[in-house]
Structure 1
Amino acid sequence: MAFRFNFFIDENETNEPDIHDKMDLELCSPKHKQESTEKSKQIADTAAGSSPRLGTDKHGDETPSKKKFCFKAAKEHNIPEDLNKILENKVMETVSDLYYLNSSVVEMMCLDGADEEGIVSKSVSSHSDLIPGVYEGGLKIWECTFDLIDYFSEAEIQFTNKTVLDLGCGAGLLGIVALRGKAEKVHFQDYNSTVIDEITLPNVVSNCINEGNRTGSGNDKKTSKPPSKRPRKAECSPDALTKCRFFSGEWSEVSQLLLSSNKPFSKYDIILTSETIYNPDYYSALHDTLAQLLDKNGRVYLASKAYYFGVGGGIYLFEKFTEERNVFRTSIVKIIDKGLQRCIMEMAFKDSS
């Protein structure tokens, strides 16, 4: 599958997020929770063995973390009964037969009052697509997302009857691919509630109701009808939406919401995540969340750049971090050397089959 990124990937000349000036802020982090709940501590201690918990500074040096982070509470977002309202005034684009919202239109709508968190205005005023603890880039579609979608096809990853989590979902394209691959359940998580309401939910709804516009399968581009700029109105809730749940909040908080909920919950067969390891300060929270939510024989597919300039994170540093925790085995299954090196990593529990 071939993709073009230049018309919606908003990155600087080095193809990296413009966050160089943001790391000196006092962080109230989306994925940093220094003090976790008791269950998180138990899992983290098991993962770390007798080793101290380490933070990593923006230069990539491992040092005991001195930062104190607050965290954003998790909540579940209900799917509105009126699907037409979700798609009202939305302008859709397509890439590889996937529908997604034109982010510029969404940003303008958010500036007009649709953004209760104020993340768009803060992003504009700070000239940054990432503001730690405030906005984690979910309104943009980042490059490695498409590397991972390519890999699904190349490696023939099967989603049929699987439970899937799109972690740090943003536009939700990874979860949408799983949904179209006949996954049994697909859950979407992003730090910002605005992203879930204004980007993720409309994208998922649009892909579900426009499924009827396709005469072939999701991968059959020759027989697909030309996409419409505006999705057709929904007459009823598509069956695929009953498989979906949507969450916002910090990772460990979402984990606790799921694990303590009265609703039935089974751990995920597959967790998908893209460009979530750019900041080493997030690694503990991400690792512990994966350890909590992945099924014992499940797989994580993680896409990342080899190195994120200005922050110090990247695939090899996260690989080292994971090895030291001694919970997961990791394997870099694909390297993309076009421009700045990018990688796909597969993770599984060390004692899994």
Structure 2
Amino acid sequence: MFKFNFSADNTAEAEEQPKVIQTEETWEKSKQIQFKDSSILQDILKNASTINLPNYPDCKYIDPSEIVDILQDSENETPVLKAEQNHLDLIPAVYEGGLKIWECTYDLLSYLSSEKIQLEGLKVLDLGCGSGILGIYSLSLGATCYFQDYNEDVLQYFTIPNVLVNNKGLLERSKFYSGDWESFANLIGDSLTEDEKFDYIFTSETLYNVQSYPKIHKVFKLLLKKSGKMYPLVRHMMINFLKILAYLSLDAGADLR
């Protein structure tokens, strides 16, 4: 089942729109990312703070500005650091905005809480996860979660630390994948039986690039159970509705909200 949850707030400030630089696009292949301890990671973990989420008032996370400072001090040149130093939210095929917690993430969390969505024992994909807050919330409710973000560095220095500071044991129910969506779908899709596919796919403010719509449709087509549900939350002003509906409503029985 496809569920479209569009934010109706058209009064958002202009600065909330992604700052993008255009590049010649060569997309990274997807791969599984393993937890790797390091001195940089240990420095990052010392900077956890608390964020109040619905039904999870003591959730901890790392402030992205702290991560940038630590990476700068370590002289670790990464796509993430390059984008942040140039005050860019997005560099297509290089950096896809993973160090920013977008406003619609909180809207989706509020929706999941208010609707009392039950996730115990279910399998969740946090697509374009960035901070991993949606996945961490799912883990707190007893789900197994796959975290996917384009940038390996975002996963290593932001997503995985956020999981660790909440409960290291959550890693046992977590997997992490970097790279392009289409490559990700191909990487794990062929090996999944229907029962092994995802019960829920959550994604927040990831549909800003029309060229990505066929890729995200492939993710849903290959990885979502026939009985599963997806929740893509986006801003009205960020997308072309006709194009997104054309790609994501290709399957009969779409439930548009």
TM-score tier after normalising by the smaller chain length: 0.7 to 0.9
CA distance in 2, matches of 1:316, 1:14: 25
Q: Call closer, same or farther: CA 1:85–1:278 in 2, change over 3 Å.
A: closer
Q: Call closer, same or farther: CA 1:99–1:314 in 2, change over 3 Å.
A: farther
Matched residue, 1:168: 128
Q: Call closer, same or farther: CA 1:123–1:89 in 2, change over 3 Å.
A: closer
Letter in 1 for 2:50: T
Matched residue, 1:217: none
Matched residue, 1:319: 245
The Cα of 1:105 is off from its aligned counterpart by: 1.1
Matched residue, 2:151: 192
Matched residue, 2:105: 145
- Alignment identity in percent? 33
**1:251-287 superposed Cα distances (whole Å, 9 cap, x missing partner):** 111122213569xx91101111000111211101111
Aligned residues: 238
Show structure 2 runs of 5+ residues with no match. Answer: 1-11, 53-57
Matched residue, 1:88: 43
CA distance in 2, matches of 1:326, 1:135: 31
Matched, 1:109 2:34: no
Letter in 2 for 1:331: L
Asked whether the 8 Å contact 1:123–1:135 carries over to 2, the reply is no
Matched residue, 1:252: 182
The Cα of 1:321 is off from its aligned counterpart by: 3.5
Show structure 1 runs of 5+ residues with no match. Answer: 1-10, 29-69, 210-237, 333-353
Q: Call closer, same or farther: CA 1:171–1:331 in 2, change over 3 Å.
A: same
Query: Equivalent of 2:166, from 207, 212, 228?
Result: 207
Letter in 2 for 1:318: I
The Cα of 1:113 is off from its aligned counterpart by: 4.0
Matched residue, 1:214: none
Matched, 1:72 2:2: no
CA distance in 1, matches of 2:131, 2:251: 32
Matched residue, 1:283: 213
The Cα of 1:129 is off from its aligned counterpart by: 1.0
User: Which residues of 2 match residues 214-229 of structure 1 at below 5 A?
Assistant: none
Structure 2 length normalisation: TM-score? 0.84
Matched, 1:329 2:250: no
The Cα of 1:122 is off from its aligned counterpart by: 3.5
**1:59-107 superposed Cα distances (whole Å, 9 cap, x missing partner):** xxxxxxxxxxx32111111124x59974434311222122110111101
154-163 vs 104-113, greater mean Cα deviation: 104-113
Aligned Cα RMSD in Å?
2.5
The Cα of 1:123 is off from its aligned counterpart by: 3.7
**1:334-353 superposed Cα distances (whole Å, 9 cap, x missing partner):** xxxxxxxxxxxxxxxxxxxx
